[in-house]
Amino acid sequence: MKPGHLASIALAVVLLSIVVPARAATIQITMENLVVSPAETSAKVGDTIEWINKDVFAHTATAKNGDFDVMLPPKKSATFVLNKAGTVDYYCRYHPNMKATLKVAP
């Protein structure tokens, strides 16, 4: 391999890391015994939220502002990719006493 190739690969790696500064993360939030934990989660736009329902009851993760309404059948999980910055309060439509907050940074 020519030295020039190595240099261009190195440059590409550097450029790539500038274009994609951080890998999008998957953040897990559990629902167990009617409690959402953690109740407050910080994340970034592009991150995936994975809600894990450990209950034998169906739940939802429903944003108060209408941004998302994710169904969580008993003992199942579901995901949502954050596409907007801001603070979103969400709750379970079936058990509105289950409440939590997502803080989404740009």
Partner 1 sequence: MFTRRSAALAAAILLSSPALLGGASAADKPTDPQIAHIAYTAGVIDINAAKQAQKKAKNKDVKAFAEDMLRDHEAVNKQALALVKKLNVTPEDNDTSKALSKQASDKLAEFDKLSGAAFDKAYVANEVAYHKAVNGALETQLIPSAGNAELKSLLQTGLKIFQGHQQHAEHVAAELK
Residue 12 parent element (H or E): helix 3-19
Q: How far is the CB of 44 from partner 1 (least distance, A)?
A: 31
Interior angle at CA 92, CA 25 and CA 47, nearest 5? 10
Q: How far is the CB of 86 from partner 1 (least distance, A)?
A: 24
Footprint of partner 1 on 55-84 (CB under 8 A): 56-58, 74
Interacting span for partner 1 (CB under 8 A) from 20-28, 62-70, 82-90, 93-101:
93-101
- The torsion region of residue 9 among left (phi > 0), alpha (psi -120 to 50) and beta comes to alpha
Task: Report the residue number, 82 or 100, with the smaller CB distance to partner 1.
Answer: 100
Task: Report the residue number, 86 or 94, with the smaller CB distance to partner 1.
Answer: 94
The Cα–Cα gap between 4 and 59 comes to 57
Residue 95 lies near partner 1 (rule: CB under 8 A):
yes
Query: Which residues bind to partner 1, rule: CB under 8 A?
Result: 33-35, 56-58, 74, 92-98
